[in-house]
Structure 1
Amino acid sequence: MVQFNNILASVREQVVPTSSERKKLDEAIKELQILSRQATSNLPFKTHMLHLGSTSRDTWLRGDVDIDIFIQFPRSTSKQDLEKYGLEIGHKILPNGHEEYADHPYVKGTFNGFKIDIVPCYAATSAIDLISAVDRTPLHGAYLSDQLTEELYTEIRLLKQFFKGCGVYGSDLKTQGASGYLSELLIILFGSFTNTIEEISKWIVPIRLDPNGTSEHFFESPLTFIDPIDPSRNVAAALSSTNLSLIQHYSRELLSRPRIELFYPHSMEPITNEELQAHIANRGTSPIAIIFHTPDIVEDELHPQLQKSLSGIADLLTRHGFNIVRCDAFSESNSIFFFELSSIEIPSIEHHDGPPLSSQPHASAFLDKYTKTDVYGPFIDNDHYVVERFREFDNAVAFLKSEAIFTARIGPDIGDSLKNHYDVLAESELLTLTPDFGIHLHNYFNPTL
């Protein structure tokens, strides 16, 4: 236990912001308040600037500062005006910012070296009053201000850093991990970092946490944490089953074999061409990759489409007789679908069962269909008619280069990009992937905990 406590003390020293960071943040907030007043002074209605998020309640990690500024509009404001004036205000505060989209557009950029979001929202007094999803955020801020104590600030930082070390910090659809808000709620519920990981280590999934005990809503999630300000919402909805399992695994590791490395993500070197060739030779598999230009859409739209398309193409390959050992999708300026096949080539014929002889109408139709076609058979296997027929494709590269790929379930923006242009790479062509996808391929071929 001494070693465990020493590790926590060491991590605490590294995650608490320095006095210079705090001073710089305070100065930035003051300047943003001035800019906000200037940007909203001529509006036909009154707005309120709210500083929210972890920097507003002192739960942010050293060196990881995102400032969330919300511009709260009267409830009588039309959606059109909220979007129009919200963007105008955002661009006045952040002249070099760019627009992104959640429930409605907002402006994202940098200010004095900090990452900033300028988000318009409606005023709301409770979850019943919500007009858009982002209206919850001020309610979250008010709830946490009432619940948090100074003693909990560093406990929250420890949990956030631990989640980072596990590789599961962030509720975006790429990470599918734990949000900062979930981290804060877990510490409030269990009282400390140590209590939290002890509880997590004992969980039997699925887990349901409803501190207020007021929700009648149930969710198909490995972890449900009912939002204390909105009983219809699961704060842990983004957390995947795999990532919850990782959190549980590393919680047990930290308790049984405490080490500081569990708080920090592994530093990965890109895979070399020699290493890639060695992995393929050792595994005896035949990888292929579909490479295409990444659609210009926000991350939370891109990654669900990548996963849908990966699954759809994998299903298509499987239905056509190709055995997939494992597959994954990676995204940079280009994206790839990486399929590790048992073999690129499969037999030219496939076994195809017909109906049982007892089903006379169907059996007769089967015989009529295949008697005069280029197949082996029909013949009888036990009580069924059978043929061995020729496949349309016996080579995975040729198959994926054909129009057949577009019969798979593919996300709309991914489909448009593939229709514009894509390449299928195999064998030595895969070595061209290491400059851009070296880290991804290193992680793929080294799937250790």
Structure 2
Amino acid sequence: MKVTLEGLKSMHDTTDKRYMELPFTRNSRMKLANDVLEGTTLKKLATVKEEALAILKPTREELKKVASVTDRVIKHISHALNSQDIPVLEIEPQGSTGIKQTQLAGDFDVDVFIILDRGLIKGKGSKKAIRSFNKELFTGYINNLLIPTSREALKAKKVTFSYAEHPYLTITVDGIKFDLVFCYQVTKEDIKRSGIYSAMDRTPLHSIFVRDHLDINQKDDVRLMKAFFKAHHVYGDRSACGRMGFIGYATELLIFHFGTLENLLVNFDMLCKVPIDYHGRPDSLVARNNRFSNDYLIITDPTDPSRNVGSSIDKRAVLHARKQVNEFLKEPNVDFFITRSIPSPPNMDPHFQVVTFNNSQDVHYTIVRDKLYKLGNNISTSLERETTGEERFGTLTHEVVFPRKNNMVALAFHVSNPIISDSYVHRGPKSTIAPERIRGFLDKHPNAQVDSDDYYYIIVKREETTFTRAASRLIQELLDIDGLTTRSGSPEIPIVISPAEHLGRQAIHVLKTMVIPHANERA
């Protein structure tokens, strides 16, 4: 496949038999920007969009470079795979820098998908057996063919074998990062009938949908919305606000659904209230789908009615984005689209505390992220209340923040009661009822007394009275993430109120300004 600038730019005009039109109609409750915004605001929005796109849209020179290097990468990969008679049906660039063409300026990350004939997995048995087969097959292709080709023919500067859900190879050629990914060719009908065969099989269908259904202006609106999310740190799997922010495909579907950036912005408040479905189903039916029951945002996948593209987008990211959208509509300004570093003011408030870690990157950063959220959850479960149910340190909220490089990571907490008394009252049964409960309580606590309300009680001494010490102990006991070592404070007390590390102060700022203000919001 020859990748050219003209070819990439014209891809939105092509069609593909792997995708068919959907029984989709826009929600009747959708507001139109032209109806709800004043003329002066609409005019200001148009000016701001033009100014922002001048900064955010890739130049012709950037596009030419990406197309040229991508063509060279595909040529050498194709030669290596064909030399071994591997049943490759197609090799093409997917994602925003590939056939979608919704990338931002300076985005030199290209996903090259190697689409295989699914005859390879014929007779391999269950889904679990196929996953095991895929891991072995793709790992072999990577080690035996892609890595030697990357190093010898392409002279790649960096060659990294990664495995999250799916083995893939990351290489850097002429300053452009490529993810080389295997998948199987499937159609929408295949997915309905028997599902997917590898974690990445849907991606080419997603790219085709965007290529065929968004015009040039809508692709520019996608760029603007992506930039907006990035500027407010609610984009992708490195989102500072929430475990996962908005993703590219979800952003593209939102622009397609609402038609324009302006329409999306004026309807942003309804995103978490009304499902977006591309399969002609009533809202109530979609909302009752058990697969979506725990999802804050529902944006069904046009290629798979059982999949919610919005399932991974964290409620925190949605709520913070909504606040920023409302601020932007009050006073449109190009600054809302420009990404700047998260502020790192000093902290003296003991209700906010943080631990920072050195990260040797022994495991994929998403695994580190997920395990740190789990650690935060375990600390909250252990410290919010006593084992007997009484309040201890009160409500705990935590957030995980990565820097641009993954060599550090921070886990920040907001704690309701950072210092507590050295004892608490544990109340038992009322002295006038349930004799069997009274006997059980007195057997455990023979020195129990009766209070003025006729309840038995005891005074329990606490071993730890500060959140700092209690949480530090749990971190020492529970931390089991390869390559992660505490950096802040001391080895015994790694949690601090006033972190010296820039990242630690940033993490506290995220909690203070992006998370806690929305803690009690439902929708």
Q: State the TM-score bracket (shorter-chain normalisation).
A: 0.7 to 0.9
Q: What is the alpha-carbon distance in structure 2 between the residues aligned to residue 171 and residue 288 of structure 1?
A: 23
Further displaced range: 219-228 or 137-146: 137-146
1:106 corresponds to: 168
Q: What is the alpha-carbon distance in structure 1 between the residues aligned to residue 330 and residue 468 of structure 2?
A: 47
Highest RCO, 1 vs 2 (Cα 8 Å, sep ≥ 6): 2
Identity %: 24
Q: State yes or no: 1:84 paired with 2:140.
A: yes
RMSD over aligned CA atoms reads: 3.1
Q: 1:243 aligns with which of 308, 317, 325?
A: 317
1:163-202 residue pairs with structure 2 within 5 A?
Answer: 163-171=229-237, 176-201=244-269
2:500 corresponds to: 433
1:299-338 residue pairs with structure 2 within 5 A?
Answer: 299-320=365-386, 321-323=392-394, 327-331=398-402, 333-338=407-412
3-state SS, counterpart of residue 492 of structure 2:
strand
Return the offset for 1:338. 3.6
2:184 corresponds to: 122
Q: 2:57 aligns with which of 16, 33, 36?
A: 16
1:230 corresponds to: 304
Q: What is the alpha-carbon distance in structure 1 between the residues aligned to residue 482 and residue 427 of structure 2?
A: 35
Further displaced range: 129-138 or 76-85: 76-85
Contact 1:165 1:264 in 2 (8 A): yes
Return the offset for 1:290. 4.4
Cα pair distance change 1:205/1:387, threshold 3 Å: same
2:126 corresponds to: none
Counterpart residue type for residue 259 of structure 2: G
1:348-387 residue pairs with structure 2 within 5 A?
Answer: 348-357=422-431, 358-371=433-446, 377-387=448-458
1:423 corresponds to: 492
Counterpart residue type for residue 450 of structure 2: F
Q: What is the alpha-carbon distance in structure 2 between the residues aligned to residue 379 and residue 359 of structure 1?
A: 15
3-state SS, counterpart of residue 363 of structure 2:
coil
3-state SS, counterpart of residue 10 of structure 1:
helix
3-state SS, counterpart of residue 223 of structure 1:
coil
Contact 2:362 2:482 in 1 (8 A): no
Q: What is the alpha-carbon distance in structure 2 between the residues aligned to residue 206 and residue 20 of structure 1?
A: 42
3-state SS, counterpart of residue 298 of structure 2:
strand
How many residues are aligned here? Answer: 428
| Cα deviation digits, residues 367-424 of structure 1 (max 9, x gap) | 233235xxxx423342321111222333445544557974xxx575379968xx9531
Counterpart residue type for residue 101 of structure 2: D
Counterpart residue type for residue 27 of structure 1: S
Q: State yes or no: 1:31 paired with 2:78.
A: no
TM-score by length of 1: 0.84
3-state SS, counterpart of residue 176 of structure 1:
coil
Return the offset for 1:146. 2.2
Q: Could you list the runs of 5+ residues in structure 2 that have no partner in the other structure? A: 1-40, 121-132, 152-157, 387-391, 518-523
Further displaced range: 27-36 or 138-147: 138-147
1:347 corresponds to: 421
Q: What is the alpha-carbon distance in structure 2 between the residues aligned to residue 15 and residue 286 of structure 1?
A: 39
Q: State yes or no: 1:150 paired with 2:216.
A: yes
Q: What is the alpha-carbon distance in structure 2 between the residues aligned to residue 379 and residue 167 of structure 1?
A: 54
Q: State yes or no: 1:43 paired with 2:84.
A: yes
1:57-68 residue pairs with structure 2 within 5 A?
Answer: 57-68=100-111
Contact 2:399 2:413 in 1 (8 A): yes
TM-score by length of 2: 0.73
Further displaced range: 216-225 or 113-122: 216-225
3-state SS, counterpart of residue 68 of structure 1:
strand
